Structure 1
Amino acid sequence: MATSVSWNDIPDIALISIYSSLLDKDKLNVACTCKNWNRLFSTAKLWRHRRVVFDAKCSEETAEREIKFLNRFGHCLNRLTLNLGRPTFKSCLSISKSLECYLKRLCGCNDISIRELDLENLHMEQHWHFILSRGRVVTSLCKMIRRQKFLEAVYMAGARARLMDGCRILDALAKGRARNTIKSLYMEDFFETNMFPFRCPRYVNAMSKFLALEELHINYRYISAEILRNIANTLSRHFHNLSVVLEGDVRGIEIQPDAWMEFAEKCPLADVGAYLCTTILRGNDLRSAFVRGIPLNQLYLTSWARIDETEQRLSIFLRHLGNMYNTTLENFAMFFEHHEHIDADLLYMLRKCRQIKDLCIQARLSADTVVNIMTLQHQGKLSLRSINLTIPGLSSDDWHQIDQEKERLLTNVTDFAHIGPNEFGSSIGGSTITIDGVGPADEIPDGGDDGAIFNFQNIDVNVEISDDENDIFQPPALDHEDDDDFLM
């Protein structure tokens, strides 16, 4: 017989989880339900992250609302996301003034300890062509950043700032109070397209001032031998991850092997990850930036090119990787729609790079190549803990051949395995493996990060504002008895 459970018996942790999935307006409504739920409304965990969107329609109202939030829950805030929308000629002035007002109030709150700051896709190159408004935005950000004492992670990817504006923001980070606390810096596409900031002394000087940096996500054309040397000399005991995006022609700005060797020697804990789109490097040698001495640990390759645009380049590049990074490469991902025959070259690289632990490939391979990869793992010539092979174009006979071998050969893969025609399996000639009773591989989340820089929860802050400024983020006191029967 089912037993009734009082609403009062619901654990706080469950109620907090429910609160966390609600919009601000719904949180207020829930808080007005009963005294117990009203009590949990002020739980600090509910207000740790705030995403503030200054859009063209109601930027002033947004600033007013978010200032009230700071007054009520600012002491709980430790992760702030700022989004400036898509300003136009008519709205950029309003947005910049609203942001300035909000950040000024933020700077005046001594009990706020922001640990993560996300400047969400500012796209200043595209949207902020108006000098006065752009200058107001940059100045406001710099003033706020300088006052932060506890910043640990800053996300600035996609800002597309002009050189001087970007240097001002970096100066504020590197010379402000957070220079001793920032551990993670994400600045892919931080500057305008086709910009080479390492030629600017102010930029180089700012990048040398971080004293606690552990990981840096950056474009290849933002770094140089001098910047690597500064990192090695200043952060040798802290630095452990350099993630580099190659998004254009690097001929003439390649970092020489001796600089990488010095970096690897002075930062023994550092790993280098690289993201490379071969289409963008069309017509160029893919090997030019991948010189000897790079402690390359992760590599992500992708392309949307036609077959004639990558002819013979990919095969040569795979063999180059096998010869250069056979002792360091541990994670390899490759996503291609069209390419030349690479079966022999891929197997050559895998036989050389026996330290690879995570292998993810979407490409056209033969059934024999798939079986050979599994055989290398079975023979102990690879140390894979996860395999994800997405192989289109194979026949039913090919899949039958693979099915006969897979369970016998992949019994020592401890984490995740998927071998099939697409990432989620298929009813036509597909194959999905179950490992250690944890369920089908297509139900297991892949722990890899396919080039994604940010993973923020988007919280909608579009809350209706009442005429009384005191009732926002302040649920009314409840006079009734703590009796939940009225909820039934």
Structure 2
Amino acid sequence: MAAPISWNGIPDIALILIYSSLPDQDRLNIACTCKNWNRLFSSAKLWRHRRVVFNAKSSEETAEREIKFLEKFGHCLYRLTLNLGRPTFKSCLTISRSVEKYLNRICSRNDIQIRDLDLESLHMEQHWHFILSRGRVVSALSKMIRKQKFLECVYMAGTRMRLIDGCRILEALAKGRTKNTVKTLYMEDFFETNMFPFRTQRYVNAMAKFLALEELHINYRYLSSEMLRNIANTLPKHLVNLSLVLEGDIRGIEIRSDAWMEFSEKCPLATVGAYLCTTILRGNDLRTAFVRGLPLNQIYLTSWARVDETEQRLSIFLRHLGNMYNITLENFAMFFEHHEHIDYDLLFLLRKCRRIKDLCIQARLSADTVINIMKLQHQGKLALTSINLTIPGLSSDDWHRIDQEKERLLTNVVEYVHVGPNEFGSSIGGSTITIDDEGQADDFQNGGDDADILNFHNIIDVNVEISDDENDIFQPPDPGHEDDDEFLI
């Protein structure tokens, strides 16, 4: 029988994982346990991500606390998440000043090298109605962004800025070194509702200055044929993914077919994905934005409308996708509620688009349609590596028929299989199989987010040395363990 492992014998990598899952106060508590655990507290990997929340009650205290964090661990910081809460008339001024103070301190430090910047759900259109306070926040953000030299990913989705404020942020990103370092840009709903920024030359010029973008996530109505050509000319060897969100009224601003063809020719590595909610996309014809030449690789359809509102539009649209993108479409996801009679049109799409690899459907379909989809895969008319069919409303007899056919027809799906009435059902409720790279089948478990969200409360000073290398965890010279309240915040 193997001897039990003592606490001192726990591998460093295991202790680092434990540290990473704990809030700041608990990290400090276990760092005071012994010299070995104190040593691991110095790993720079523990302090790579910082989430800073400015709320109405304690924005000034938050700024002071986070400034002290920057003094001690700022050079470890790679990812910064900013949340400005929901300011009111009374708290807006205080929050804006606290944010400005914190961001100015980041600007004053030359050793802070932020790679990822996340502006978490700012919703400025909804919460920041006060011009001076809003301007103070935008100015501080712009100044901080201009100081960064290693920024690679910027998440600004849901920011809902005014056009002039949004242009200031984009110009800050497009100036200096960041225009050559930013690779991923999330800007869905970056501007206020019903805004068409491509009509403003300042915005067009700012977007044309990014030289290293690999992924761009953006609203369809933020683009135009001219901007698409600019992207194709500026990023022919860099861009690999253009993700579009279609919402609102896009009639009259559709990107022309010749612009998409030029884009496909100059950016051969780029694929295009589209997120389309048929409920909020105004207009009678869903096909207007999906023209010939668009290199559509993946599409995500969703709707919660009544059957009589969009049923005919959906049927026509599914057939249009099958006829137009049978060569390029590889990923298809569809989430519908209260829809009937799309079975035939869905099968038409799948028979046409034989290169689809990932299929995810949550909708009311007949048992015959589900079996026919599985038969298409079995006959080699589909090349699915992952299939997820969540079909509510079928009877027990229907599921008995489906279960009988499933094991026989889906043996050549190599990654993921789920067929059932619920998302993670089993037996009559459907079943789920996952297959790893060696072909081993395992039960599916819904894993949680392993991102480390830190909530920095009171910090006790401990004698540590910080290693800039995530893999360099070294022993400081005989660290002491006297209680020290000098860094108690």
- Normalised TM-score (structure 2): 0.92
Higher mean Cα deviation, 423-432 or 104-113?
423-432
User: Paired residue for 1:155?
Assistant: 155
Number of aligned pairs? 468
Determine whether 1:478 maps to 2:472.
no
Would the aligned equivalents of 1:69 and 1:473 in 2 still touch at CA under 8 Å?
Answer: no
Determine whether 1:310 maps to 2:304.
no
Residues 72-118 of structure 1 show CA distances to partners (whole Å, capped at 9, x for unaligned) of 11111111111101111111111111111111111111111111000
Question: Could you tell me how far apart the structure 2 residues matched to 1:456 and 1:90 are?
Answer: 37
User: Paired residue for 1:27?
Assistant: 27
Q: Which runs of 5+ in 1 are unaligned?
A: 447-454, 481-488
Question: Could you tell me how far apart the structure 2 residues matched to 1:14 and 1:190 are?
Answer: 40
Amino acid aligned to 2:441: V
Question: Could you tell me how far apart the structure 1 residues matched to 2:180 and 2:354 are?
Answer: 38
Higher mean Cα deviation, 425-434 or 93-102?
425-434
1:33 CA drift (Å): 1.0
1:302 CA drift (Å): 0.4
User: Paired residue for 1:336?
Assistant: 336
User: Paired residue for 1:65?
Assistant: 65
Question: Could you tell me how far apart the structure 2 residues matched to 1:54 and 1:398 are?
Answer: 53
User: Paired residue for 2:88?
Assistant: 88
Residues 284-326 of structure 1 show CA distances to partners (whole Å, capped at 9, x for unaligned) of 2111111111000010000111111112111110000000000
For residues 462 and 57 of structure 1, do their structure 2 counterparts lie closer, same or farther at Cα, with a shift above 3 Å needed?
A: farther
Would the aligned equivalents of 2:51 and 2:82 in 1 still touch at CA under 8 Å?
Answer: yes
User: Paired residue for 1:354?
Assistant: 354
Which residues of 2 match residues 5-404 of structure 1 at below 5 A?
5-282=5-282, 284-404=284-404
Residues 309-359 of structure 1 show CA distances to partners (whole Å, capped at 9, x for unaligned) of 112111110000000000000000000111130111111110110110000
Would the aligned equivalents of 2:249 and 2:283 in 1 still touch at CA under 8 Å?
Answer: no
User: Paired residue for 1:459?
Assistant: 453
Higher mean Cα deviation, 455-464 or 281-290?
455-464
Would the aligned equivalents of 1:310 and 1:340 in 2 still touch at CA under 8 Å?
Answer: no
1:3 CA drift (Å): 3.1
For residues 130 and 195 of structure 1, do their structure 2 counterparts lie closer, same or farther at Cα, with a shift above 3 Å needed?
A: same
Higher mean Cα deviation, 109-118 or 396-405?
396-405
1:26 CA drift (Å): 1.0
Would the aligned equivalents of 1:216 and 1:243 in 2 still touch at CA under 8 Å?
Answer: yes
1:282 CA drift (Å): 4.9
For residues 197 and 20 of structure 1, do their structure 2 counterparts lie closer, same or farther at Cα, with a shift above 3 Å needed?
A: same
Amino acid aligned to 2:415: D
Question: Could you tell me how far apart the structure 2 residues matched to 1:335 and 1:50 are?
Answer: 34
Q: Work out which structure has the larger RCO, using CA pairs closer than 8 Å and 6 or more positions apart in sequence.
A: 2
Question: Could you tell me how far apart the structure 2 residues matched to 1:421 and 1:473 are?
Answer: 54
Would the aligned equivalents of 1:92 and 1:133 in 2 still touch at CA under 8 Å?
Answer: yes
Question: Could you tell me how far apart the structure 1 residues matched to 2:356 and 2:417 are?
Answer: 14
Q: Find the residue that maps to 1:279 and give its secondary structure.
A: strand
Amino acid aligned to 1:457: A
Question: Could you tell me how far apart the structure 1 residues matched to 2:34 and 2:480 are?
Answer: 7
1:46 CA drift (Å): 0.2
1:445 CA drift (Å): 6.5
Higher mean Cα deviation, 471-480 or 100-109?
471-480
Q: Find the residue that maps to 1:328 and give its secondary structure.
A: coil
Amino acid aligned to 1:368: D
Higher mean Cα deviation, 88-97 or 208-217?
88-97
For residues 16 and 458 of structure 1, do their structure 2 counterparts lie closer, same or farther at Cα, with a shift above 3 Å needed?
A: closer
Question: Could you tell me how far apart the structure 1 residues matched to 2:447 and 2:99 are?
Answer: 38
User: Paired residue for 2:441?
Assistant: 438
Question: Could you tell me how far apart the structure 1 residues matched to 2:161 and 2:40 are?
Answer: 42
- Normalised TM-score (structure 1): 0.92
Q: Which runs of 5+ in 2 are unaligned?
A: 467-477, 483-489
Would the aligned equivalents of 1:282 and 1:310 in 2 still touch at CA under 8 Å?
Answer: no
Would the aligned equivalents of 2:50 and 2:454 in 1 still touch at CA under 8 Å?
Answer: no
Residues 188-233 of structure 1 show CA distances to partners (whole Å, capped at 9, x for unaligned) of 0000000000000000000000000011000011011111101100
Amino acid aligned to 2:398: D
Question: Could you tell me how far apart the structure 2 residues matched to 1:462 and 1:38 are?
Answer: 18
Question: Could you tell me how far apart the structure 2 residues matched to 1:456 and 1:192 are?
Answer: 32
For residues 200 and 283 of structure 1, do their structure 2 counterparts lie closer, same or farther at Cα, with a shift above 3 Å needed?
A: closer
1:37 CA drift (Å): 0.9
Residues 251-308 of structure 1 show CA distances to partners (whole Å, capped at 9, x for unaligned) of 0111110111111110000000000001112552111111111000010000111111
1:458 CA drift (Å): 5.9
Identity of aligned pairs, percent? 78
Would the aligned equivalents of 2:463 and 2:481 in 1 still touch at CA under 8 Å?
Answer: no
Would the aligned equivalents of 1:283 and 1:309 in 2 still touch at CA under 8 Å?
Answer: no
Amino acid aligned to 1:396: S
Higher mean Cα deviation, 266-275 or 368-377?
368-377
1:42 CA drift (Å): 1.3
For residues 444 and 407 of structure 1, do their structure 2 counterparts lie closer, same or farther at Cα, with a shift above 3 Å needed?
A: farther
User: Paired residue for 2:475?
Assistant: none
Amino acid aligned to 1:415: E
Question: Could you tell me how far apart the structure 2 residues matched to 1:72 and 1:18 are?
Answer: 22
Would the aligned equivalents of 1:219 and 1:246 in 2 still touch at CA under 8 Å?
Answer: yes
Would the aligned equivalents of 1:150 and 1:178 in 2 still touch at CA under 8 Å?
Answer: yes
User: Paired residue for 2:485?
Assistant: none
For residues 458 and 282 of structure 1, do their structure 2 counterparts lie closer, same or farther at Cα, with a shift above 3 Å needed?
A: farther
Would the aligned equivalents of 2:153 and 2:183 in 1 still touch at CA under 8 Å?
Answer: yes
Amino acid aligned to 2:453: I
Question: Could you tell me how far apart the structure 2 residues matched to 1:43 and 1:131 are?
Answer: 42
Would the aligned equivalents of 2:362 and 2:390 in 1 still touch at CA under 8 Å?
Answer: yes
Residues 112-158 of structure 1 show CA distances to partners (whole Å, capped at 9, x for unaligned) of 11110001111100111111110100000000000111000000000
